[in-house]
Structure 1
Amino acid sequence: MASIDSKVNLSTIPLVALNVTVRKKLGLYLNPKNIMGFSYLEITNFENFKNPTNEILKNWQAQRSEASVGKLLSILTEAERTDVVEDLRALIDEDVRKYIAFMEKKEDPPVQVPEVDSCVPRTPETLGLTVLDDPDGLYPERFDAFICYCQSDFPFVHEMIRELEQTDYKLKLCVFDRDVLPGSCVWTITSELIEKRCKRMVAVVSDEYLESDACDFQTKFALSLCPGARSKRLIPVIYKPMTKSFPSILRFLTVCDFTRPCTQSWFWVRLAKALSLP
């Protein structure tokens, strides 16, 4: 495949133009090399992920203003990885073509929208929801699980992050206070994340959870997406004794109970396996 027009300045093409295929192939070539100028501690943290190179690229495009396709190719060349440049150049050129075509189309919107699709929201509220999202919504950040919790249970959510994200399980959790950008409607954001960005939802059930309108909405919304729990989409978790009755709408679901001393040693393994299912 021929290269793209030589008049195209690749340093003006943001890194977000590269799609999943290119990023996966870069990972095969580069994991866990450090060519982006991150510190040793940052690289060590990235190695906890399934594809360290992909995490480096996402953080690079989010944190560094110079992140571009041209800069990436320049870095690979300086690192004497011309093999990567040569093998992936055709795919990169195709992604750049698509990105330029998308941006040109975006700048010249049609006068009339020919079709209204209520199933796929296209409002600005659904773009750039999380810290690592790209603003145009080309590569929305995705997660293994949305964590439904109330503020008083946040210490347990921190423990969940340590046990599931920072260990060999390497799961990716959506924690609202950590991952979601401020400024948009809470109900719109949570609906979009639960339905389209997260494979499952973990509900941290406690007495305080029962009093939370946000937790009530998130739980009922998640249940509406999986009638009869056919897809194991919602997983209730109890981590401390409750004085109030367990919610009746969750009684037909298998609970992960941290309060039972005899099963505590299996708690994180069971939860991690459930969240790792396709």
Structure 2
Amino acid sequence: MACADSQTDLWTIPLVALNMTVRKKLGLYLNPKISVAADWMAVAEAVDFTYLEIKNYEGLEDPTKRLLENWQARCSDATVGKLLSILTELERNDIVEDLRPLMDEDVRKYCENLKKKAEPPVQVPEVDSCVPRTPERFGITREDDPNGAPERFDAFICYCESDFEFVHEMIRELEQTEYKLKLCVFDRDVLPGSCVWTITSELIEKRCKRMVVVISDEYLDSEACDFQTKFALSLCPGAQSKRLIPVVYKTMTKPFPSILRFLTKCDYTRPCTQAWFWERLAKALSLP
């Protein structure tokens, strides 16, 4: 199966590409038990969920939503193409016909974001034809050495501007104490003048062992944070090889992001666990 532009194989597009609108519509189709049509339980069986897992989902208000979240969290083959194939095999062509245009649009946006990381910054030829310049991937952070290895970090910090005061505290607690961790903080460590999407993708994929996601109401409205989180998850379904660590440092009025709900979080808002907060986070970031 391919995208609407017939250039992208949907079997290579992870489920994280599908936004909440599509997921809610899938729930509207699959949640009700209809004797003449396959429901969410048939999809769960098709992706090898156990009987006990399925029974535990039965009491949920939106079992389809939880099924998709857990499937994409633990299986590398949880792709848009796989989902469409299962729906077709289950003879739910009504769902495919109704939601395929929306899915194609989500995939198109997802592909565009990924392509941006490969696009070179716009440069006038006359300006670019002087002294040989440092390759972009070796000159994007303050301590990059043109003649040596690129600068590497223990963790990339995903945050929005309104949460920067907490990021400052994180720097003090993790870098300037006995933990001696090296954090990648975009506004501090990245040099200006290059494509933001290219730099961000390079840092997350190749320079940082972990990714800390600072969760807040403002985070939920940030397009940059949304891209960074989805990009990191697309590299490692289920956070198996590049651990993502959600951090909540203040009370939220909006729901916790469902895409990260399967991950164990560090919660700074709980007074009873604050004494262990920084040590837990430091230990998680120090793992090989």
TM bucket (normalised to shorter chain) is 0.5 to 0.7
The amino acid across from 1:275 in the alignment is: L
1:149 match: 159
CA offset at residue 122 of structure 1? 11
What is the Cα deviation at residue 127 of structure 1?
Answer: 2.5
Counting matched residue pairs gives: 158
The answer to whether the Cα contact below 8 Å between 1:161 and 1:173 also exists between their aligned partners in 2 is yes
2:246 aligns with 236
For 2:178 and 2:138, the matched residues in 1 are separated by 31
How far residue 226 of structure 1 moved from its aligned partner, in angstroms, is: 1.4
Shift of 1:139: 1.5
Query: Where has structure 1 moved over 2 Å in runs of 4 or more?
Result: 121-125
RMSD of Structure 2 on Structure 1 (CA) = 1.8
Letter in 2 for 1:239: Y
Whole-angstrom CA distance in 2 between matches of 1:129 and 1:234: 23
Residue 232 (structure 1) shift: 5.1
Cα drift, residue 231 of structure 1: 2.6
Of 172, 179, 182, 2:182 maps to 172
Aligned to 1:259: 269
Structure 1 portions without partners, runs of 5+ = 1-120
By how many angstroms is 1:193 displaced? 0.3
- What residue number does 1:189 align with? 199
**CA deviation profile, 1:69-121 (whole Å, cap 9, x unmatched):** xxxxxxxxxxxxxxxxxxxxxxxxxxxxxxxxxxxxxxxxxxxxxxxxxxxx8
How far apart, CA to CA, are the structure 2 residues paired with 1:202 and 1:159?
A: 14
% identical equivalent positions = 83
| Distance (whole Å) between structure 2 residues aligned to residue 144 and residue 153 of structure 1 | 20
TM-score (norm 2): 0.53
State whether structure 2 residue 225 is matched by structure 1 residue 215. yes
2:138 and 2:178 map into 1 onto residues whose CA distance is: 31
The separation in 1 between residues aligned to 2:149 and 2:242, in whole angstroms, is 26
User: In the alignment, what sits opposite 1:224?
Assistant: 234
Residue 169 of structure 2 is aligned to residue 132 of structure 1: no
Q: For 1:45-66, what per-residue CA distance to the aligned partner results, in whole angstroms no more than 9, with x for missing partners?
A: xxxxxxxxxxxxxxxxxxxxxx
Sort the Cα spacing of 1:235 and 1:264 in 2 relative to 1 into closer, same or farther, 3 A. same
Q: Does the CA contact (< 8 Å) of 1:222 and 1:233 recur in 2?
A: no
**Aligned partners of 1:204 and 1:228: how far apart in 2?**
18
TM superposition shift of 1:241: 0.3
CA distance in 1: counterparts of 2:287 and 2:169, whole angstroms: 21
Q: 1:258 Cα deviation (Å)?
A: 0.3
Give me the whole-angstrom Cα distance separating, in 1, the residues matched to 2:169 and 2:203: 22
Q: Find the aligned partners of 1:122 and 1:177 in 2 and give their Cα distance.
A: 21
Matching residue's letter, 1:234: L
SS at match of 2:218: helix
- Classify 1:153/1:122 alpha carbon distance in 2 versus 1 (closer, same or farther; 3 Å): closer
Instruction: Trace 1:1-278 onto structure 2 (pairs within 5 A).
Output: 124-135=135-146, 138-231=148-241, 233-278=243-288
Kept in 2, the 8 Å contact 1:146–1:173? The answer is: yes
Structure 1, residues 247-278: CA drift from partner, whole Å, max 9, x if none? 00000000100001110001001000000000
Structure 2, unaligned runs of 5 or more: 1-117, 121-134
Give 1:217's aligned amino acid.
F
Q: State how far apart, in whole Å, the 2-side matches of 1:135 and 1:182 are.
A: 16
Q: How far is 1:229 from its partner? A: 2.0
Structure 2 contact 162–218 (Cα < 8 Å) conserved: yes
State the structure with bigger RCO (CA 8 A, min sep 6), 1 or 2: 2
Partner Cα separation in structure 2 for residue 276 and residue 225 of structure 1: 20
**What SS does the aligned partner of 1:207 have?**
coil
**Within 2, Cα distance between the matches of 1:233 and 1:183?**
29
Structure 1 position 228, deviation (Å): 1.5
